[in-house]
Amino acid sequence: MKKLLFLLISMLVMIPRIVSAHTELTSSNPAANQVINEDLKEIVLTYEGKIESLSTMTLVKDGQEGSLVSVTPKENQLIGTLSTPLENGSYTIKWSIAGEDGHPISGEIPFTVQKEVKEEPKAETKQPVTPKKEEPKKENTKQEKTNSESTDKTSNLNTIIIVVVLVIFIIGLFLLFRRKR
């Protein structure tokens, strides 16, 4: 009886750790909602654990994919090299990885490039455009929050379901062994 109780407690402690072992994004350059004031040569996304070679990222501006020359997964980083410096505007990095455990995970990172323009007439032309581009940025922030919230809810729901099923299974085993005695 004591061994069964020990086994039950051990399983309940270990299962949430096993279930929540998905690889998560820990940092990025550029960071979410960051305003970039200088030329960017590469995009670096860093994850908690090792990522598989099938991992990808795309750079999107105004619904069109940007200018990434290469995307290279290295250990726990996904590195995207840019072909040309980015123009002023709002961008979104869309990434999709396969973690060490094989589960696909994806997300978006919005950021803005706002370099100083040397010619004044062009700066006046681009200033009215900037407020229009900030509105999609707010939408991207909402989408990012929704994506992360739905991933968290799904992960928590899966953990709860697994724990409940295991508890029912263990109670069933306990009752079965009790009847045989």
CATH of the domain at 60: 2.60.40.1220
pLDDT tens for each residue of 52-77: 888 899 999 888 887 788 999 998 99
pLDDT score, position 134: 44
* Strand pairing category for 104-113 and 35-36: parallel
The answer to whether residue 159 sits within a structural domain is no
- Tell me which of 119 and 141 has the higher pLDDT: 119
The answer to whether residue 116 sits within a structural domain is yes
Instruction: Count how many domains the chain has.
Output: 1
Provide the domain limits for residue 76.
22-145
Residue 170 DSSP symbol? H
The answer to whether residue 177 sits within a structural domain is no
The pair phi, psi for residue 51, each rounded to 5°, is -115, 155
Q: Which of 8-22, 127-141, 159-173 is modeled with the greatest confidence?
A: 159-173
Question: How much of the chain, in percent, has pLDDT values that exceed 90?
Answer: 23
Residues present in the chain in total = 181
Determine the distance from the C-alpha atom of residue 102 to the mean position of all C-alpha atoms in its chain, rounded to a whole number.
15
Q: Distance between CA atoms of 115 and 82, rounded to whole angstroms? A: 16
Q: Distance between CA atoms of 100 and 68, rounded to whole angstroms? A: 25
pLDDT score, position 14: 67
The answer to whether residue 133 sits within a structural domain is yes
- Neighbouring C-beta atoms of residue 156, cutoff 10 Å: 13
pLDDT score, position 153: 53
The answer to whether residue 171 sits within a structural domain is no
Give 126-130's long-range contacts (Cβ < 8 A, gap of 24+).
Answer: 126/88, 130/88
Q: Distance between CA atoms of 42 and 45, rounded to whole angstroms? A: 10
* Both structure tokens of 123: 């700066």
pTM: 0.56
Answer whether residue 133 shows pLDDT above 50.
no
The answer to whether residue 8 sits within a structural domain is no
pLDDT tens for each residue of 12-52: 776 655 555 567 889 999 999 999 998 888 999 999 888 88
Beta bridge mates, 112: 35, 90
92 band by pLDDT with thresholds 50, 70 and 90: very high
The answer to whether residue 167 sits within a structural domain is no
The answer to whether residue 162 sits within a structural domain is no
Answer whether residue 152 shows pLDDT above 90.
no
